[in-house]
A and B are shown apart, each in its own frame.
Chain A
């Protein structure tokens, strides 16, 4: 009789157990990314100063009018200065003509490597990069591809970003914060190259945690963030008042989500990725619940590591080991007031890379 009763309860017990397991998994993933990271070398040590003595790098950022690209380029310049090789940043304000001009400069001035940084897609200047390669230059990208994406054929090496891992963490956070019943609005921009694997990882993780939970995707092209995110979020909230969590995948989107929620009279938590200072300030002000930050200082050093390994004929690691740190009300004070790009991650990477490059 006892056995029969338990048997009858099984259909109810199994999902409850599965849910408990999913919750444990999600909490474990979140806890892992709360810690200030230690440096873990992603390749063998090499004598960078000797290898790079006669080498030079020309970096073309997507635009120097966004602080993210400026901070990334600053870090790359610092790393190059530490090693002691020639590193030039093409101070562009964006635009195809200036990218083409940049590649021409790199070729005509005899640089060894041209790097496209901060999201500039090599495909848009494919013919120019082909000419650069024919002239003997190496082509790399920095902070463009997700780790799961294949780089374009005209690229020799890439410093990739773990967008898919970020997606897993965001999904875990939404699952935990909604007590295992997320109804999520995800906002992305399909015209930004890593968006597809990023969004797919959020969707897949959410489905894994909670197969029956609802999710909705809003695609807003980058150029229309200022005009379309607000109306899109309003419409989504009005047509589905049960939405209980919002994930704008790039954190600068948050500034347009906030007024939409105010107008729609909704109080829904927001979590996002990047660690842009003004959004970290919004976490402090309790407008945004959580941001996953990446240390751009660390990313810059890791990108230079990729460039040097490629130029020195060494294997380039797939995983750059750039840490992802969760910032919420519990640790937001560590990012500075006002927040900046580098605080909150420690500085283990500087000593770590110096040792890896045999500089000391």
Chain B
């Protein structure tokens, strides 16, 4: 009897301690990583220039990861996000460089088209009741074709320097503005998910569509908005991508899709474990780039970087699962 009453109270603090450990494990791992590289290459790694370069260079990946995180939270996949990024970057290049539209108008057009692509994704997923994985894969491939057609398979350079200035040349505290766009977006998303009804509905839908529906949540509307938001954010990533390089090419941006998913899944192991969360995603991106930067500074071969990237993801997610008692994962 005594044992019966004692055990739950004894177990409770242990569980919360483990959870707290889990929440901040990635942050700790990041600190360890920084310390290791600081010891290995102290003169070059531990400088503000290094950190400003790391922070400033990853904004596109941060925004793309935040984009796919919205439908992931609602239990849907958006595999078209990277293609939306490439398509909208190319749209900015074509309209600004070849058609001579002002850069502001090109950006507005790109964001509008991005939202429209999200609406198309949502229509096919929800009206025809087809898994988002299939539809977004198809729409993404279709967009790839459109991008090749629109660009005639060429890279287009010469995008307005006003955009390049606003993305990568102008700085605040030594860090290119691009970083602050990603940071601001992550903070806004965190606030929306934590403190607004729309955000809580999104989480609800992701946890169990049927339960959400029985509680009066308009599940289809929430999922549709998630897909539209995802494509719009991917279009923002496309605009940043165009501003980062001052050009748009029809292929390379699509290679960002897997790193974005890696960051989203790795982010789900930290701060709010078991839940896709924007701040965790942000942390993951910078954890991964810290590893890549340090390894490059140490002269590691290209394959070592891939080993780190893939290895970090698998190890972190596996450890997180161990801490959570190996509960089965479900993505809707």
B238: interface (CB < 8 Å): no
Binary A-proximity of B154-189 (CB < 8 A = 1, otherwise 0)? 111110000010001100000010000000000000
What residues of B have a CB within 8 angstroms of the CB of A152 in the complex?
A: none
The answer to whether A234 touches B153, judged by C-beta atoms less than 8 angstroms apart, is: no
The answer to whether A231 touches B296, judged by C-beta atoms less than 8 angstroms apart, is: yes
Indicate the size class of the contact surface on chain B: 35 or more
The answer to whether B247 touches A278, judged by C-beta atoms less than 8 angstroms apart, is: yes
What residues of A have a CB within 8 angstroms of the CB of B293 in the complex?
A: 231, 234-235, 238
Chain B 38-54 interface residues, beta-carbon cutoff 8 Å to A: 41, 44-45, 47, 49-50, 52-54
* Interface residue from B45, B57, B169 paired with A231 (Cβ < 8 Å): B57
- The docked-state distance in angstroms from the alpha carbon of A232 to that of B302 is 9
Binary B-proximity of A62-106 (CB < 8 A = 1, otherwise 0)? 001111001000000000000000000000000000000000000
Q: Which of A10-18, A219-227, A296-304 contacts B (4 or more CB under 8 A)?
A: A219-227
What residues of A have a CB within 8 angstroms of the CB of B176 in the complex?
A: 262-263
B255: interface (CB < 8 Å): yes
What residues of A have a CB within 8 angstroms of the CB of B302 in the complex?
A: 190, 219-221, 224, 228
Known: A224-B255, A235-B293, A287-B246. A259 touches B57 (CB 8 A): yes
* Interface residue from B154, B256, B301 paired with A278 (Cβ < 8 Å): B154
A258: interface (CB < 8 Å): yes
What residues of B have a CB within 8 angstroms of the CB of A190 in the complex?
A: 302
A29: interface (CB < 8 Å): no
The answer to whether A264 touches B297, judged by C-beta atoms less than 8 angstroms apart, is: no
- The docked-state distance in angstroms from the alpha carbon of A25 to that of B53 is 38
What residues of B have a CB within 8 angstroms of the CB of A239 in the complex?
A: 41, 44-45, 296-297
The answer to whether A262 touches B169, judged by C-beta atoms less than 8 angstroms apart, is: yes
What residues of A have a CB within 8 angstroms of the CB of B56 in the complex?
A: 263
The answer to whether A234 touches B246, judged by C-beta atoms less than 8 angstroms apart, is: no
A158: interface (CB < 8 Å): no
- The docked-state distance in angstroms from the alpha carbon of A223 to that of B158 is 24
The answer to whether A238 touches B153, judged by C-beta atoms less than 8 angstroms apart, is: no
- The docked-state distance in angstroms from the alpha carbon of A45 to that of B47 is 65
- The docked-state distance in angstroms from the alpha carbon of A255 to that of B247 is 7
Known: A66-B153, A221-B302. A226 touches B253 (CB 8 A): yes
Chain B 252-306 interface residues, beta-carbon cutoff 8 Å to A: 252-256, 259, 289, 292-293, 296-297, 301-302, 305
The answer to whether A258 touches B259, judged by C-beta atoms less than 8 angstroms apart, is: no
- The docked-state distance in angstroms from the alpha carbon of A226 to that of B61 is 11
What residues of B have a CB within 8 angstroms of the CB of A231 in the complex?
A: 57, 289, 292-293, 296
- The docked-state distance in angstroms from the alpha carbon of A263 to that of B289 is 14
In the complex, the chain B residue whose C-beta lies closest to that of A285 is B158
B245: interface (CB < 8 Å): yes
Smallest distance from the beta carbon of A158 to chain B beta carbons, Å? Answer: 25
- The docked-state distance in angstroms from the alpha carbon of A259 to that of B240 is 12
A265: interface (CB < 8 Å): yes
What residues of A have a CB within 8 angstroms of the CB of B199 in the complex?
A: none
Chain A 297-324 interface residues, beta-carbon cutoff 8 Å to B: none
* Interface residue from A227, A252, A256 paired with B256 (Cβ < 8 Å): A227
The answer to whether A278 touches B168, judged by C-beta atoms less than 8 angstroms apart, is: no
A275: interface (CB < 8 Å): no
Binding site of A, secondary structure by majority: helix, strand, loop or mixed?
A: helix
A276: interface (CB < 8 Å): yes
The answer to whether B297 touches A238, judged by C-beta atoms less than 8 angstroms apart, is: yes
B244: interface (CB < 8 Å): yes
What residues of B have a CB within 8 angstroms of the CB of A287 in the complex?
A: 157, 246
The answer to whether A259 touches B154, judged by C-beta atoms less than 8 angstroms apart, is: no
Smallest distance from the beta carbon of A225 to chain B beta carbons, Å? Answer: 6
Q: Which of A64, A190, A265 has the most CB of B within 10 A?
A: A265
* Interface residue from B57, B249, B254 paired with A260 (Cβ < 8 Å): B57
Known: A66-B153, A219-B301, A230-B57. A238 touches B246 (CB 8 A): no
- The docked-state distance in angstroms from the alpha carbon of A282 to that of B169 is 17
Binary B-proximity of A244-280 (CB < 8 A = 1, otherwise 0)? 0000000010011011101111000000000011110
Q: Which of B41, B44, B148, B296 has the most CB of A within 10 A?
A: B296
Binary A-proximity of B19-34 (CB < 8 A = 1, otherwise 0)? 0000000000000000
Known: A219-B302, A259-B245. A278 touches B157 (CB 8 A): yes
B251: interface (CB < 8 Å): yes
The answer to whether B168 touches A259, judged by C-beta atoms less than 8 angstroms apart, is: yes
Smallest distance from the beta carbon of A59 to chain B beta carbons, Å? Answer: 17
The answer to whether A255 touches B155, judged by C-beta atoms less than 8 angstroms apart, is: yes
- The docked-state distance in angstroms from the alpha carbon of A70 to that of B148 is 13
The answer to whether B247 touches A277, judged by C-beta atoms less than 8 angstroms apart, is: no
The answer to whether A223 touches B57, judged by C-beta atoms less than 8 angstroms apart, is: no
The answer to whether B157 touches A65, judged by C-beta atoms less than 8 angstroms apart, is: no
- The docked-state distance in angstroms from the alpha carbon of A219 to that of B54 is 20
In the complex, the chain A residue whose C-beta lies closest to that of B144 is A65
Smallest distance from the beta carbon of A118 to chain B beta carbons, Å? Answer: 13
- The docked-state distance in angstroms from the alpha carbon of A218 to that of B148 is 29
* Interface residue from B157, B244, B249 paired with A281 (Cβ < 8 Å): B157
* Interface residue from A65, A223, A264, A282 paired with B148 (Cβ < 8 Å): A65
- The docked-state distance in angstroms from the alpha carbon of A198 to that of B157 is 26
* Interface residue from A235, A256, A262, A265 paired with B297 (Cβ < 8 Å): A235
The answer to whether A67 touches B153, judged by C-beta atoms less than 8 angstroms apart, is: yes
The answer to whether B156 touches A278, judged by C-beta atoms less than 8 angstroms apart, is: yes
- The docked-state distance in angstroms from the alpha carbon of A294 to that of B246 is 25
10 nearest CB pairs, A to B: A226-B252, A235-B296, A239-B44, A278-B155, A239-B297, A278-B157, A226-B255, A234-B53, A263-B56, A259-B244
21 contacts between A and B (CB under 8 A): A64-B153, A65-B153, A66-B251, A190-B302, A225-B255, A226-B255, A231-B293, A231-B296, A234-B57, A234-B293, A235-B296, A255-B157, A255-B246, A258-B245, A259-B168, A259-B245, A264-B49, A264-B53, A276-B155, A278-B157, A279-B157
Given contacts A65-B251, A224-B255, A263-B168, 15 further A-B contacts (CB under 8 A): A66-B251, A67-B154, A226-B252, A227-B256, A234-B54, A234-B57, A238-B50, A238-B53, A252-B155, A255-B157, A259-B57, A262-B168, A265-B49, A278-B247, A285-B157
